[in-house]
Chains A and B, each alone.
Chain A
Amino acid sequence: DTGVSQDPRHKITKRGQNVTFRCDPISEHNRLYWYRQTLGQGPEFLTYFQNEAQLEKSRLLSDRFSAERPKGSFSTLEIQRTEQGDSAMYLCASSLSTGNNSPLHFGNGTRLTVT
Protein backbone atom coordinates (compact mmCIF):
# COMPACT_ATOMS: atom_id res chain seq x y z
CA ASP A 1 0.00 0.00 0.00
CA THR A 2 1.85 3.05 -1.26
CA GLY A 3 -0.96 5.42 -0.31
CA VAL A 4 -2.65 8.10 -2.37
CA SER A 5 -0.16 10.08 -4.43
CA GLN A 6 -0.71 13.63 -5.67
CA ASP A 7 1.39 15.60 -8.10
CA PRO A 8 2.64 18.28 -7.95
CA ARG A 9 2.96 19.11 -4.25
CA HIS A 10 3.01 22.82 -4.98
CA LYS A 11 1.94 24.90 -7.97
CA ILE A 12 2.35 28.63 -8.40
CA THR A 13 0.61 30.12 -11.40
CA LYS A 14 -0.45 33.49 -12.70
CA ARG A 15 -4.07 34.49 -12.85
CA GLY A 16 -5.67 33.37 -16.08
CA GLN A 17 -3.44 30.37 -16.64
CA ASN A 18 -4.68 26.78 -16.72
CA VAL A 19 -3.41 24.18 -14.25
CA THR A 20 -3.80 20.42 -14.02
CA PHE A 21 -3.29 18.21 -10.99
CA ARG A 22 -2.92 14.46 -10.89
CA CYS A 23 -4.03 11.92 -8.30
CA ASP A 24 -3.04 8.27 -8.15
CA PRO A 25 -5.29 6.41 -5.71
CA ILE A 26 -4.50 3.25 -3.79
CA SER A 27 -4.49 0.59 -6.48
CA GLU A 28 -7.46 -1.50 -5.38
CA HIS A 29 -9.66 1.48 -4.54
CA ASN A 30 -12.36 2.15 -7.10
CA ARG A 31 -13.78 5.31 -5.50
CA LEU A 32 -11.92 8.59 -5.88
CA TYR A 33 -12.78 11.99 -4.42
CA TRP A 34 -11.52 15.55 -4.86
CA TYR A 35 -11.77 18.06 -2.04
CA ARG A 36 -10.55 21.63 -1.63
CA GLN A 37 -9.25 23.04 1.65
CA THR A 38 -8.55 26.67 2.43
CA LEU A 39 -6.71 27.96 5.48
CA GLY A 40 -8.73 27.59 8.65
CA GLN A 41 -11.43 25.52 7.02
CA GLY A 42 -12.25 21.88 6.66
CA PRO A 43 -12.12 20.10 3.31
CA GLU A 44 -14.96 20.98 0.92
CA PHE A 45 -16.23 18.30 -1.44
CA LEU A 46 -15.73 18.92 -5.15
CA THR A 47 -16.45 15.70 -6.99
CA TYR A 48 -16.50 11.90 -6.75
CA PHE A 49 -15.84 9.02 -9.13
CA GLN A 50 -16.70 5.38 -8.93
CA ASN A 51 -14.39 3.70 -11.43
CA GLU A 52 -14.45 6.01 -14.45
CA ALA A 53 -17.94 7.40 -13.81
CA GLN A 54 -18.24 10.84 -12.23
CA LEU A 55 -21.22 10.33 -9.92
CA GLU A 56 -21.37 13.53 -7.87
CA LYS A 57 -20.33 17.12 -8.45
CA SER A 58 -20.54 19.96 -5.97
CA ARG A 59 -21.96 23.33 -6.87
CA LEU A 60 -18.49 24.58 -5.92
CA LEU A 61 -17.24 22.98 -9.11
CA SER A 62 -17.72 25.85 -11.54
CA ASP A 63 -17.49 25.40 -15.29
CA ARG A 64 -13.81 26.34 -15.06
CA PHE A 65 -13.16 23.11 -13.18
CA SER A 66 -13.14 19.70 -14.81
CA ALA A 67 -12.15 16.31 -13.48
CA GLU A 68 -11.56 13.07 -15.30
CA ARG A 69 -10.75 9.50 -14.47
CA PRO A 70 -10.51 7.98 -17.92
CA LYS A 71 -9.51 4.42 -17.10
CA GLY A 72 -10.81 4.21 -13.58
CA SER A 73 -7.34 4.51 -12.11
CA PHE A 74 -5.61 7.91 -11.84
CA SER A 75 -7.57 11.14 -11.98
CA THR A 76 -6.84 14.68 -13.14
CA LEU A 77 -8.37 17.94 -11.97
CA GLU A 78 -8.02 20.88 -14.36
CA ILE A 79 -8.72 24.50 -13.52
CA GLN A 80 -9.02 26.84 -16.47
CA ARG A 81 -8.49 30.61 -16.33
CA THR A 82 -7.36 30.47 -12.71
CA GLU A 83 -8.46 33.18 -10.29
CA GLN A 84 -6.90 34.25 -7.01
CA GLY A 85 -9.85 32.70 -5.19
CA ASP A 86 -8.76 29.31 -6.50
CA SER A 87 -5.72 29.40 -4.22
CA ALA A 88 -6.15 26.46 -1.87
CA MET A 89 -4.97 22.96 -1.04
CA TYR A 90 -6.53 20.41 -3.39
CA LEU A 91 -6.93 17.03 -1.75
CA CYS A 92 -7.54 13.69 -3.38
CA ALA A 93 -8.88 10.68 -1.50
CA SER A 94 -9.76 7.12 -2.41
CA SER A 95 -11.74 4.30 -0.85
CA LEU A 96 -13.02 0.81 -1.43
CA SER A 97 -16.58 0.31 -2.57
CA THR A 98 -17.20 -2.73 -0.38
CA GLY A 99 -19.75 -1.55 2.13
CA ASN A 100 -20.93 2.00 2.23
CA ASN A 101 -18.56 3.37 4.79
CA SER A 102 -15.03 2.50 3.91
CA PRO A 103 -12.91 5.34 5.26
CA LEU A 104 -11.30 7.79 2.87
CA HIS A 105 -7.55 7.65 2.41
CA PHE A 106 -6.20 11.10 1.62
CA GLY A 107 -3.14 12.16 -0.27
CA ASN A 108 -0.88 14.95 0.95
CA GLY A 109 -2.52 17.43 -1.39
CA THR A 110 -1.47 19.91 -4.06
CA ARG A 111 -1.12 23.48 -2.84
CA LEU A 112 -2.13 25.98 -5.52
CA THR A 113 -1.12 29.62 -5.32
CA VAL A 114 -2.55 31.98 -7.92
CA THR A 115 -0.71 35.29 -8.17
Chain B
Amino acid sequence: AQSVAQPEDQVNVAEGNPLTVKCTYSVSGNPYLFWYVQYPNRGLQFLLKYITGDNLVKGSYGFEAEFNKSQTSFHLKKPSALVSDSALYFCAVRADTGRRALTFGSGTRLQVQP
Protein backbone atom coordinates (compact mmCIF):
# COMPACT_ATOMS: atom_id res chain seq x y z
CA ALA B 1 0.00 0.00 0.00
CA GLN B 2 1.13 3.54 -0.58
CA SER B 3 0.04 6.73 1.18
CA VAL B 4 0.82 10.42 1.46
CA ALA B 5 0.36 12.69 4.44
CA GLN B 6 0.18 16.46 4.20
CA PRO B 7 -0.06 17.43 7.86
CA GLU B 8 -1.08 21.06 7.31
CA ASP B 9 -4.48 21.93 5.88
CA GLN B 10 -3.32 25.52 5.38
CA VAL B 11 -0.04 27.41 5.35
CA ASN B 12 0.02 31.18 5.68
CA VAL B 13 3.08 33.18 4.67
CA ALA B 14 3.82 36.82 3.94
CA GLU B 15 4.86 37.80 0.44
CA GLY B 16 8.62 37.75 0.05
CA ASN B 17 9.13 35.24 2.86
CA PRO B 18 10.26 31.66 2.27
CA LEU B 19 7.58 28.98 2.24
CA THR B 20 7.53 25.27 3.02
CA VAL B 21 4.69 22.84 2.38
CA LYS B 22 5.22 19.51 4.09
CA CYS B 23 4.74 16.02 2.70
CA THR B 24 5.59 12.58 4.06
CA TYR B 25 4.98 9.32 2.26
CA SER B 26 4.83 5.58 2.66
CA VAL B 27 5.51 3.18 -0.19
CA SER B 28 6.91 -0.30 -0.75
CA GLY B 29 10.04 0.05 -2.81
CA ASN B 30 11.65 3.18 -4.13
CA PRO B 31 9.37 6.20 -4.34
CA TYR B 32 8.56 8.38 -7.30
CA LEU B 33 7.35 11.68 -5.83
CA PHE B 34 5.44 14.55 -7.39
CA TRP B 35 4.02 17.94 -6.52
CA TYR B 36 0.97 19.38 -8.27
CA VAL B 37 -0.78 22.74 -7.83
CA GLN B 38 -4.48 23.45 -8.28
CA TYR B 39 -5.84 26.93 -8.87
CA PRO B 40 -9.58 27.66 -8.41
CA ASN B 41 -11.74 26.09 -11.14
CA ARG B 42 -8.66 24.67 -12.84
CA GLY B 43 -7.16 21.24 -13.21
CA LEU B 44 -4.05 20.14 -11.39
CA GLN B 45 -0.77 21.35 -12.85
CA PHE B 46 2.52 19.50 -12.54
CA LEU B 47 5.23 21.37 -10.59
CA LEU B 48 8.11 18.95 -10.13
CA LYS B 49 9.09 15.35 -9.55
CA TYR B 50 11.75 13.25 -7.85
CA ILE B 51 12.72 9.97 -9.49
CA THR B 52 16.36 9.43 -8.65
CA GLY B 53 19.59 11.39 -8.30
CA ASP B 54 19.95 14.72 -6.53
CA ASN B 55 17.78 15.04 -3.47
CA LEU B 56 16.98 18.66 -4.32
CA VAL B 57 14.80 18.98 -7.40
CA LYS B 58 13.82 22.21 -9.07
CA GLY B 59 10.53 22.79 -10.80
CA SER B 60 8.21 25.37 -12.28
CA TYR B 61 7.64 28.91 -10.95
CA GLY B 62 10.74 28.86 -8.74
CA PHE B 63 9.58 25.94 -6.59
CA GLU B 64 11.91 23.22 -5.39
CA ALA B 65 11.54 20.15 -3.22
CA GLU B 66 13.91 18.16 -1.06
CA PHE B 67 13.75 14.37 -0.92
CA ASN B 68 14.77 12.91 2.43
CA LYS B 69 14.78 9.12 2.38
CA SER B 70 15.44 8.63 6.09
CA GLN B 71 12.52 10.87 7.04
CA THR B 72 10.38 9.69 4.10
CA SER B 73 9.66 13.32 3.31
CA PHE B 74 9.41 15.46 0.19
CA HIS B 75 8.78 19.02 1.34
CA LEU B 76 7.99 21.74 -1.20
CA LYS B 77 9.89 25.00 -0.84
CA LYS B 78 10.26 28.41 -2.38
CA PRO B 79 12.74 31.06 -1.24
CA SER B 80 10.42 34.03 -1.76
CA ALA B 81 6.64 33.65 -1.90
CA LEU B 82 4.39 35.58 -4.28
CA VAL B 83 0.71 36.39 -3.77
CA SER B 84 0.08 34.53 -7.03
CA ASP B 85 1.43 31.33 -5.42
CA SER B 86 -1.77 31.14 -3.36
CA ALA B 87 -3.38 27.85 -4.37
CA LEU B 88 -3.95 24.25 -3.31
CA TYR B 89 -0.87 22.04 -3.37
CA PHE B 90 -0.89 18.24 -3.63
CA CYS B 91 1.92 15.79 -3.03
CA ALA B 92 1.70 12.40 -4.76
CA VAL B 93 3.65 9.13 -4.70
CA ARG B 94 3.94 5.84 -6.48
CA ALA B 95 6.42 3.01 -6.19
CA ASP B 96 9.02 2.35 -8.85
CA THR B 97 7.42 -1.04 -9.57
CA GLY B 98 3.89 -2.35 -9.66
CA ARG B 99 0.87 -0.09 -9.89
CA ARG B 100 1.13 2.99 -12.07
CA ALA B 101 -1.52 4.96 -10.24
CA LEU B 102 -0.42 7.96 -8.22
CA THR B 103 -1.66 8.29 -4.65
CA PHE B 104 -2.32 11.89 -3.68
CA GLY B 105 -2.30 13.60 -0.32
CA SER B 106 -5.30 15.57 0.89
CA GLY B 107 -3.76 18.87 -0.12
CA THR B 108 -2.44 22.00 1.59
CA ARG B 109 -3.89 25.41 0.93
CA LEU B 110 -1.17 28.04 0.63
CA GLN B 111 -2.22 31.58 1.40
CA VAL B 112 0.34 34.30 0.65
CA GLN B 113 -0.51 37.64 2.18
CA PRO B 114 0.60 40.91 0.53
A98 contacts the other chain (CB 8 A)? no
| Binary per-residue interface labels of chain B (95-109) against chain A in the complex, 1 for a CB within 8 Å, 0 otherwise | 010011111111100
Q: Are A101 and B51 in contact (CB under 8 A)?
A: yes
Q: Which residues of B contact A42 (CB under 8 A)?
A: 4, 90, 92, 104-107
Q: Which residues of A contact B105 (CB under 8 A)?
A: 42
A8 contacts the other chain (CB 8 A)? no
| Binary per-residue interface labels of chain A (40-70) against chain B in the complex, 1 for a CB within 8 Å, 0 otherwise | 1111110010000001101000000000000
A35 to B105, CA, bound (A): 13
A15 contacts the other chain (CB 8 A)? no
Shortest Cβ distance from residue A32 to the other chain B in the assembled complex, whole angstroms: 12
A42 nearest CB neighbor, chain B only: B104
Q: Are A108 and B101 in contact (CB under 8 A)?
A: no
- Size class of A's contact patch? 20 to 34
A63 to B34, CA, bound (A): 31
Q: Which residues of B contact A103 (CB under 8 A)?
A: 34, 46, 49
Shortest Cβ distance from residue A16 to the other chain B in the assembled complex, whole angstroms: 29
A106 contacts the other chain (CB 8 A)? yes
Q: Are A43 and B44 in contact (CB under 8 A)?
A: yes
Shortest Cβ distance from residue A47 to the other chain B in the assembled complex, whole angstroms: 9
A33 contacts the other chain (CB 8 A)? yes
Q: Which residues of A contact B46 (CB under 8 A)?
A: 103-105
Knowing A91-B43, A91-B44, A101-B32 touch, does A58 contact B51 (C-beta < 8 A)? no
A26 contacts the other chain (CB 8 A)? no
29 A-B contacts, Cβ less than 8 Å apart?
Answer: A4-B43, A35-B104, A40-B106, A40-B107, A41-B107, A42-B90, A42-B105, A42-B106, A43-B44, A43-B104, A44-B104, A45-B102, A48-B101, A56-B101, A91-B43, A91-B44, A93-B43, A93-B44, A100-B96, A101-B32, A101-B49, A101-B51, A103-B49, A105-B46, A106-B36, A106-B43, A106-B45, A108-B41, A108-B42
